[in-house]
Chain A
Amino acid sequence: MANLADVSSQVSTRAAESAPPKKRVLSDTWYSVLLITPAMIFIFIFALFPLGYAINVSLRYADLTSPQGISDYVGLENYRFALNDNIFWASVQRTLTFGVAAVAIEMVLGIAIAFLLNEIKWLKGLARSLFILPLAASPVAVGLIWRYMYHPEFGVYNGILASLGLPEQNWLGSTALAMPSVIIFDVWQWTPFVALIVLAGLQALPKEPFEAARLDKASTWRILRTLTFPMLAPVLTLVFVLRAIDAVRLYDAVFSLTQGGPGQATEVVTYYLYRLGLRFFRLDQSSAMSLLFLYAVVVFTALLMRRFMRNIAERARRA
């Protein structure tokens, strides 16, 4: 039976060899172009066209409350306004404050939690599932719940403070506490993201170098410093870039918690752009500012990714 199968496979192979080669409909180049085309169309419609439109609007006078709407070209006047607008620069400063504080806390906590989750022996799956919960929730919905938790009279945080005999706080109504409150909310929501990615990176590390280090009686701190963190560096860079970009784009948390207040204490760039463009209908100025902001984010990301890609290339060359 086995011989019969061998013979039949040989016959079919020979038949395939003797048959004339099938003519290919598309060359490799055109096949590649065909595969890329849908993604390119998508990118053009949803990224490049809006970008071009924003550039066009930023060079015109566009006050939607005036009868002419989007009208004549005004050159770089909107950029001149944006670069000399103190409210814009104050919102940039608040965005940077928020980004630095939130991302730093999230990275430190996320890495610590990832190490803990990597070490625990039981209920691993349950712990991970619980950690994903804040990520799965809608930021606006959770923001509204947190708004009630921060409430000065009925909020759970002031309840805890009162039970400890500490003075109650006006979490979202005080200029000193509003930004830290937004940061705490963001840390609660996004630390699990950092933890999960770092945990995946930790679990993908090879075991041999660590076993060799333990045999050589290297201290835990030395293993961390010379093995774990250098090997985790690409993952850490990636998660840092993702979180930093997301942190400077913060909008939903501010919208649901404080709406930029009290005063302008939590008015970050995106919220100011929303207010200027969609409340005051100055699409020209808000487009110019959003393009300046996009420029800053692109430069920051490009510099980090350049370093990241160079490190990966060096590692590949060494390997």
Chain B
Amino acid sequence: MTLSEAWDRLFWAAIIVVLIGLVWIRFLESVIGPCDGPGLLVALAVGIVFFATGWRSAAARKKREMTETEAKDEL
């Protein structure tokens, strides 16, 4: 994963974390009562999963590209 790709993924992960936090405060807290901690944990967990998924797919893509380049060089 390049630095710009990592930054882009991090940015969208942060956006998702904030969105989940806002949805938690606006809609879920009216049902389950005020609880910042669990909401923050859920939002952060989703953000980390989103970032890690992107990281893994980028790493897999790079590995595939390297394998293809090696195969082309051998040919």
Give the B-binding residues of A (Cβ under 8 A): 75-76, 79-80, 83-84, 292, 295, 298-299, 302
Beta-carbon nearest neighbor of A299 in chain B? B15
- Interchain CA distance A299-B26 in the complex, whole Å: 18
Query: In B15-33, which residues have CB < 8 Å from any A CB?
Result: 15, 18-19, 21-22, 25-26, 29
Q: Which 8 A-B pairs have the closest CB atoms?
A: A83-B26, A76-B36, A83-B25, A80-B25, A75-B36, A299-B15, A295-B18, A79-B25
- Interchain CA distance A84-B34 in the complex, whole Å: 13
B34→A80 contact, CB < 8 A: yes
- Interchain CA distance A239-B25 in the complex, whole Å: 35
A84→B26 contact, CB < 8 A: yes
Chain A interface mostly:
helix
- Chain B residues within 8 Å of A295, by CB: 15, 18, 22
- Interchain CA distance A83-B27 in the complex, whole Å: 9
User: CB of B11 within 8 A of chain A?
Assistant: yes
Given A295-B18, A298-B15, 5 more A-B residue pairs with CB atoms under 8 Å apart are A76-B25, A83-B25, A83-B26, A292-B22, A302-B11
How far, in Å, is B8 (CB) from chain A's closest CB? 9
CB-defined A-B contacts under 8 Å, sample of 5: A75-B36, A76-B36, A79-B22, A79-B25, A302-B11
- Interchain CA distance A302-B11 in the complex, whole Å: 10
- Chain B residues within 8 Å of A84, by CB: 26
- Chain B residues within 8 Å of A76, by CB: 21, 25, 36
- Interchain CA distance A295-B20 in the complex, whole Å: 13
- Chain B residues within 8 Å of A298, by CB: 15
- Chain A residues within 8 Å of B26, by CB: 83-84
How far, in Å, is B41 (CB) from chain A's closest CB? 14
A83→B22 contact, CB < 8 A: yes
- Chain A residues within 8 Å of B29, by CB: 80
- Interchain CA distance A295-B15 in the complex, whole Å: 8
How far, in Å, is A113 (CB) from chain B's closest CB? 36
How far, in Å, is B35 (CB) from chain A's closest CB? 10
B15→A302 contact, CB < 8 A: yes
- Chain A residues within 8 Å of B11, by CB: 302
- Interchain CA distance A130-B11 in the complex, whole Å: 43
- Interchain CA distance A75-B21 in the complex, whole Å: 13
- Interchain CA distance A276-B72 in the complex, whole Å: 65
- Interchain CA distance A298-B11 in the complex, whole Å: 11
- Interchain CA distance A76-B25 in the complex, whole Å: 9
Residue with the highest number of chain A CB atoms closer than 10 Å, among B11, B19, B21, B25: B25
- Interchain CA distance A179-B54 in the complex, whole Å: 45
- Chain B residues within 8 Å of A302, by CB: 11, 15
